[in-house]
Structure 1
Amino acid sequence: MPCIINIETSTKVCSVAVTCDGMVAFNREHYEGPSHASLLGGYINEALEFINSNKLKIDAVAVSGGPGSYTGLRIGVSMAKGLCFGFNVPLIALDTTEIMSCSVLFNPKIDEEALLCPMIDARRMEVYSAIYDRALQQILPIEANIIDENSFSDILKERKVVFFGDGAEKCKEVIKSENAIFLTGVVPLAKSMLALSERALRNQDFKDTAYYQPFYLKEFQATTPKNKVLNNLSNK
């Protein structure tokens, strides 16, 4: 039976799951903010202990490849690549937006004909988003969008669209269409990768472990601490 280690660190939530033959056999999640660097190694060690104690064989490592937090993606992908090299198994990378969409497919609040729009918070009124149908076929590609009252208006005239994710929360007061539905509390989780990572394993949809890089979507923008700016000004 296929055994996959799934790693999700693209947002503030850090999670690791071991999936075996269509079931989540092991799961760890932390919701209390971005502590990926300190938590992920421990979760992976627990996962490996579980795999060894149950005499399982790792078939692949799957990771959320973005978009999302620059630091979170870098930490997760680095760990995944290290495991792949260490156990000589293939690397699977999944879109964060597709993982989020997979997690809401069976939500009873969602109409069968509704489209799915996962949103990841970026800056101010910007989000990383895509639109999928219920078969997870991509209707609109993953993009960085600045949200205003006209966002997705063409689609909302014709179809119901379900918005979810930490980026959707700030858009609720802006997107006013009657066809706009907002779900709360949806975050990308490792256990939600199950169907997607097993499908990738069956299809041998693997990445080049040595050269794979996360899908950051936008370049990392470093900020200068306020006190450093003030010091620089005072020295001029």
Structure 2
Amino acid sequence: MKMNLASPMSKSHLFLGIETSTTNCSVGLFRDDTLVDKLEEDNGYSHSEKLGVFVKDLLENNKVEVVDLSAIGVGVGPGSYTGLRIGVSFVKGLGFAHNIPIIKFTSLELLLNQFRSLDYPLSSGGIIIPMLDARRDEVYCQVYNSDFEPLEAIKAEILSEESFSKYRVGNSKIICLGPGAIKSKELIKSNNMDVIENLMPSIVGMESTILSKYRNEAFENLAYFEPYYLKEFFAGKAKRSLLSPE
């Protein structure tokens, strides 16, 4: 489907951002690379109830119509299967209905971008690892160097004392961040590791790069665009009914 695009280099663009990969339902409005307004609530997986209301209220409060949007940014995961499905389906519906391009962000990318804005002291050779809880001792994570360049692809890691050992050499510091980082403190037990656990994937992490992605036309194909689940979903086995045959 061909998008009706404003010139990527024109003076001003409005972007809607949506992130639902965790318990945080996060919606924001950007003018170019500046966050204008946001609505978010971290209160369990109630995105199906909140997302549409948040978007409606955000646009109305700022006197913006959906047709005024140049693009929509969306967090694609990894993360909660249900949360991702709700967020991506909502965005695809808006994109199809109003011919609006979609720009994706991984949930780990959003964590990293928020960390960059903190001006946290980094040493050369240090490692940054955004982490999301993947249940039990497992996290979704990606390893970056101190220049914020990815050293590995996104992966699911079962944490242990040996995790990321090839990066834990000399005085190189490891910084684990995000809602999965608390597990690293308990399971890796390194004296040269900082843990920043109070960051959640949020549309705030889109602010620094959404305009550049738009100008580079980094748009998704709406016909084939899906959440990045990373792992297959396995539903729990239904309990046998007492009325069913043996």
- TM (norm. structure 1) is 0.91
Q: CA 1:48–1:87 in 2, change beyond 3 Å: closer, same or farther?
A: farther
Structure 1 range deviating more: 190-199 or 160-169: 190-199
Letter matched to residue 113 of structure 2:
C
Structure 1 match to 2:16: 5
- 1:132-163 residue CA offsets vs partner (Å, 9 max, x unmatched): 23443211210011110000011011521110
Q: Which structure dedicates a bigger proportion of its chain to helix?
A: 1
Q: CA 1:112–1:58 in 2, change beyond 3 Å: closer, same or farther?
A: farther
- 1:165-210 residue CA offsets vs partner (Å, 9 max, x unmatched): 1111122121122221111211000122112222210111111012
For residues 28 and 91 of structure 2, the distance between their equivalents in structure 1, rounded to whole angstroms, comes to: 12
1:46 Cα deviation (Å)? 1.5
User: Quick one: which of 170, 187, 201 aligns to 2:183?
Assistant: 170
For residues 140 and 195 of structure 1, the distance between their equivalents in structure 2, rounded to whole angstroms, comes to: 22
For residues 66 and 232 of structure 2, the distance between their equivalents in structure 1, rounded to whole angstroms, comes to: 42
Q: Percent identity?
A: 36
- Cα contact 1:128–1:145 (8 A) shared by 2: yes
Aligned-pair Cα RMSD in Å: 2.2
For residues 10 and 146 of structure 1, the distance between their equivalents in structure 2, rounded to whole angstroms, comes to: 20
Structure 1 match to 2:195: 182
- Cα contact 1:9–1:73 (8 A) shared by 2: yes
For residues 88 and 106 of structure 1, the distance between their equivalents in structure 2, rounded to whole angstroms, comes to: 32
Structure 1 match to 2:219: 206
Q: Secondary structure of the equivalent of 1:163?
A: strand
- Cα contact 1:67–1:217 (8 A) shared by 2: yes
Q: Gapped runs of 5+ residues in structure 2?
A: 1-11
1:86 Cα deviation (Å)? 2.3
Structure 2 match to 1:15: 26
Question: Counterparts of 1:1-236 in structure 2 under 5 Å?
Answer: 1-53=12-64, 57-113=68-124, 114-158=126-170, 159-224=172-237, 228=239, 231=241, 236=246
Letter matched to residue 103 of structure 1:
Q
1:88 Cα deviation (Å)? 1.3
Q: CA 1:209–1:56 in 2, change beyond 3 Å: closer, same or farther?
A: closer
Letter matched to residue 166 of structure 2:
D
1:235 Cα deviation (Å)? 6.1
For residues 223 and 54 of structure 1, the distance between their equivalents in structure 2, rounded to whole angstroms, comes to: 41
Q: CA 1:75–1:149 in 2, change beyond 3 Å: closer, same or farther?
A: same
Total equivalences in the alignment:
233
Letter matched to residue 122 of structure 1:
A
For residues 195 and 94 of structure 1, the distance between their equivalents in structure 2, rounded to whole angstroms, comes to: 12
- Cα contact 1:157–1:179 (8 A) shared by 2: no
For residues 242 and 151 of structure 2, the distance between their equivalents in structure 1, rounded to whole angstroms, comes to: 48
Letter matched to residue 197 of structure 1:
I
- TM (norm. structure 2) is 0.87
